[in-house]
Amino acid sequence: QGWKSLIVTTLIVAVSLFVVVVNLSEKPYFLLQPVFGQSLSGHLFKPPYRADKPHPGYLSIPKQEPLKLHCELCSVVSSSGQMLGQGLGAEIDRSPCIWRMNNALTRGFEADVGRRTTLRVVSHTSVPLILQKPQYFLGQSNDTVYDGKGIVYNMLKQAAENYPHARIYVTTEERMNHCDTVFKKETGKDRIQSGSYLSTGWFTLILAMDMCKEIHVYGMINDTYCKSDGYRKVPYHYYEAGSRDECAEYVMHESAPYGGHRFITEKSVFAKWAKTHPIKFFNPPWQLS
């Protein structure tokens, strides 16, 4: 009952939280220092890949050590229903680093999404879902990285103590402000004034561009997909059968006056980044002009 009360309070107090699940049984990778404060068309997403330079934007719990992670190739697997029925699991599992988001399950969906997870990014609203199945998400097969502050921080610190194979990191306030700044520079809109929340996908792509030399994104639709003729109607999450339609969810969030994710706007920014950074989109493929 104590955990339940903490979880409820978390949703009220937490500002932003991410869970990164790292499988330490694989080859270790090292995160490299990004170049801050430069134009988006310049070196912001082209960091020098130096294995001796840790990332200052993510600090471990409880030791407050910076995260070190670098992957030659990262496969970012979307939680979208676009993953269903495509049989890409084996291809994804061949990737050196496999990133997933929030509480996206692999069990029961291996043929389409793969079995392996190298790293997982989780928003603060999904942390209670992760902690409902700690053995699955925090067990020895999935050593984990988390971030949070206040009550959330204490919850994750306790989780780290209960699952010593997990690695947990908190996103610094400076890093969160940096992600807000990127959104404003790319869209011309202040995130807070426009009443929006950055999606987990937004933070994941920025994180990946710091840590990955090449990025393959699976199951993410582009900004015009929902307006195309005969688009594929799929559930918002592949692991939630019968859940709300993905495009309906996107349109609802894009037009929400306050508290919505700007999924469509974010996808247009991702397309721009892909022109200057080695990012490729699969299932469905993106046509980048």
The answer to whether position 289 is within a domain reads no
Per-residue pLDDT tens over the stretch 24-72: 333 322 222 222 222 233 333 333 334 456 777 887 777 888 888 788 9
Q: Please give the tally of structural domains in the chain.
A: 1
- Asked whether residue 287 is domain-assigned, the answer is no
In whole angstroms, give the CA distance from residue 198 to residue 180: 8
pLDDT band at residue 251, thresholds of 50, 70 and 90? very high
Inside any domain, residue 288: no
Q: Is residue 19 part of a domain?
A: yes
- C-alpha 269: how far from chain center: 16
DSSP string, 248-259: HHHHHHHH-SSS
7 located within any domain: yes
Residue 120 CA to chain centroid, in angstroms? 7
Q: Is residue 12 part of a domain?
A: yes
Instruction: Report the pLDDT value the prediction gives residue 127, as an integer from 0 to 100.
Output: 66
Question: pLDDT category, 214, cuts 50, 70, 90?
Answer: very high
CATH number of the domain residue 158 falls in: 3.90.1480
Which residue's entry shows tokens 């949070």?
148
Give residue-wise pLDDT tens across range 105-146: 999 999 999 999 888 887 767 766 766 676 667 663 443 343
Token pair in block for residue 83: 């993953």
Contacts of 87 (CB under 8 A, 6+ apart): 111, 112
For the chain, report the end-to-end CA distance as a whole number of angstroms.
54
Q: Is residue 167 part of a domain?
A: yes
156 vs 249: which has the higher pLDDT:
249
- Whether 228 is in a domain gets the answer yes
